[in-house]
Amino acid sequence: MRLENILVPVADSPSPRLTLNVLSDLLACLGVSPSTVRLIHIGDDPPEVFGGSAPETGATVELIDGPVVETILRLTREQGMDMIVMPTAGQQGFLDALRGSTTERVLRQASCPVLAVRAF
């Protein structure tokens, strides 16, 4: 398994801070230093939790338009990502109960491993 290119979709809720800490700890334990950790936010404004950048990684949060699940999957394929790391709050409401949360839908369709970190 290769971990050179990692995609991390972020939003205000659930907060991505724990997810980035878990990713950092995992990479340290494995002794892996990825060449790319790409933070994306699908929508208009970057998550306020970062103010536009993520101190844990030094990376800038890229703003991207499009449907959330489809955009994550497209970027994963196009950019040759080795892993997707996502915070998850689980199912939120009736629609999620029917089709699954965003993370569940990405997990079912992703062409690479997905690390889902439970947000508290």
Domains assigned to the chain: 5-118 (3.40.50.620)
Identify the weakest region by mean pLDDT among 55-59, 96-100, 109-113: 55-59
Give the model confidence (pLDDT) of 72-104 as tens digits. Answer: 999 999 999 999 999 887 656 656 555 568 888
Which of these, 27, 59, 33, 29, lies nearest to 46 by C-alpha position? 59
Q: Is the pTM here over 0.75, yes or no?
A: yes
Give the C-alpha distances (Å, rounded to integers) separating 87 from 9, 31: 8, 22
- Are 11 and 112 contacting, i.e. CB atoms less than 8 angstroms apart? no
Which of these, 117, 112, 77, lies nearest to 101 by C-alpha position? 117
**Who wins on pLDDT, 45 or 38?**
38
Q: What is the dihedral of CA 40, 41, 42, 44, to 10 degrees?
A: -130
